[in-house]
C-alpha cells in the first residue's frame, strides 16, 4: 500500500474548550445600594414613547418583587408600540391603560390619580417633557400628570443630541421649578441608534434611589413652585 493510499485516521476533534462564564451575581448584589424599603405602597408608572419603555417590564417586575409595590401602568400610544401592554398588565396584575383605549365610566386619568401615592413617568420623551413644561394635557399621560397631586418623578429618556437643545434644557429646568422630581440623565449609547452621549434613562438602582428620595418628602407636592 502506497503511503498516499493510506486512509487517514479520522482526526479526533479536540474537546471543545469551555468558555468560562463568570457566575452571575445575585440581583441583591447588583442592587446593594438601593433602599430596603420605599415609603409608598401604590405606584403609577406612566410611559411615553422612548426606547427605554422596553425596560419597563423588568423594572416593574423587580419593584413588585422587591418592595411588594402595587403597580398600575399607563401608556401613550407611542409607548404601546415599544413595550407590550399585556406584559405590563401581567406584571401589575391589573390592566395597563393605553391612551384612547379605555372605556371605563370614570376616566382613566382620574382613576389612576386616585390610586397612586406617587407617579413615575418613565421614560419621559422630549415630546412629553415639553408638554409637561407647558401644562398641555392632550392625552392620558399628560392629563394624568396634570391631575396628580403626589410626588411626580420624571425620568427623561431623550434621543441623541436632544439634551444640547436650548428648548429641552429650558423645559427640564421648568419642570424642576414647577416641583417635578426630574431624574438625572445617563451617559451611554442610545439603545435605538447606538450613538453615545447624555440622554439615556438612568439605570434601575439609580432610579430606585431617586424614587425613594422623591417619595421621602411627603410635603413635596407638584404644583408648589420652588
Ligand atoms: C424606536 C423608537 C425609539 C424612540 N426613542 C425615543 C427616545 O428615547 N426619546 C424620545 O424623546 N423620543 C423617542 N422616539 C420618538 C417618540 O416616540 C416620538 O417623539 C413620539 O411622538 C413620542 O410620543 P409620546 O411622547 O406621546 O409618547 C422614539 C421613536 C421610535 C420609533
133-159 pLDDT tens trace: 999 999 999 999 999 999 999 999 999
Core vs surface per residue 67-86: b (16+ CB within 10 A) or e? bebbbbbbbbebbbebbebe
* DSSP line for 41-66: SEEEEEE-SSGGGGGHHHHHHHHHHH
Q: State what percent of residues in the chain have pLDDT above 90.
A: 72
| Sheet hosting strand 152-156, strand order edge to edge | 97-98, 70-75, 42-47, 118-124, 152-156, 181-182
CA distances from 225 to 74, 162, 177, 222 (A): 26, 25, 6, 8
Mean pLDDT of 77-99: 98
Question: Is the minimum distance from the CB of 80 to ligand 1 under 6 angstroms?
Answer: no
Which of residues 94 and 7 earns the better pLDDT score? 94
> Would you say the CB of residue 199 lies under 6 angstroms from ligand 1?
no
Phi, psi angles (nearest 5°) of residue 44 = -100, 130
pLDDT in the model for residue 18: 53
In the structure grid, which three cell numbers stand for residue 7, read together? 486512509
- Find the mean pLDDT for residues 80-98: 98
155 alpha carbon – ligand 1 mean position (Å): 14
Which domains are seen in the chain, by residue range? Answer: 38-216 (3.40.50.1950)
Candidate of 54, 56, 76, 127 to mutate for ligand 1, largest count of ligand atoms within 8 Å of Cβ: 127
143 CB within 6 A, ligand 1: no
d(CA 120, CA 38): 14
Residue nearest to atom 16 of ligand 1 (CA): 49
d(CA 25, CA 130): 39
Which residue among 125, 142, 186 is best mutated to probe the pocket of ligand 1, counting the most ligand atoms within 8 A of its Cβ? 125
pTM of the entire predicted model:
0.84
Scanning the structure block, which residue is given the C-alpha cell 415639553? 130
Beta bridge partners of 47: 75
CB 48 within 8 A of CB 127: yes
Residue nearest to atom 19 of ligand 1 (CA): 127
Please report the atom of ligand 1 found closest to the CA of residue 125.
Answer: 11
Amino acid at each position: 500500500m502506497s503511503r498516499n493510499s493510506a486512509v487517514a485516521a479520522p482526526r479526533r476533534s479536540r474537546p471543545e474548550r469551555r468558555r468560562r462564564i463568570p457566575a452571575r451575581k445575585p440581583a441583591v448584589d447588583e442592587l446593594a445600594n438601593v433602599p430596603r424599603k420605599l415609603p409608598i405602597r401604590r405606584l403609577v408608572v406612566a410611559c411615553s414613547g422612548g426606547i427605554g419603555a422596553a425596560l419597563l417590564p423588568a423594572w416593574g417586575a423587580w419593584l413588585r418583587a422587591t418592595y411588594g409595590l402595587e403597580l398600575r401602568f399607563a401608556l401613550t400610544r407611542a409607548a404601546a408600540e415599544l413595550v407590550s401592554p399585556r406584559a405590563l398588565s401581567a406584571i401589575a396584575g391589573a390592566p395597563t391603560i393605553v391612551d384612547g383605549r379605555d372605556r371605563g365610566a370614570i376616566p382613566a386619568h382620574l382613576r389612576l390619580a386616585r390610586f397612586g401615592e406617587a407617579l413615575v413617568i418613565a421614560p419621559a420623551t422630549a415630546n412629553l417633557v415639553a408638554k409637561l413644561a407647558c401644562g398641555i394635557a392632550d392625552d392620558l399621560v399628560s392629563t394624568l400628570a396634570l391631575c396628580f397631586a403626589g410626588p411626580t418623578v420624571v425620568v427623561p429618556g431623550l434621543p441623541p443630541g436632544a439634551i444640547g437643545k436650548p428648548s429641552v434644557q429650558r423645559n427640564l429646568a421648568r419642570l424642576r421649578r414647577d416641583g417635578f422630581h426630574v431624574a438625572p440623565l445617563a451617559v451611554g449609547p442610545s439603545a435605538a441608534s447606538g450613538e453615545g452621549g447624555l440622554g439615556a434613562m438612568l439605570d434601575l438602582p439609580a432610579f430606585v434611589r431617586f424614587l425613594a428620595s422623591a417619595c421621602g418628602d411627603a410635603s413635596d407636592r407638584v404644583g408648589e413652585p420652588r
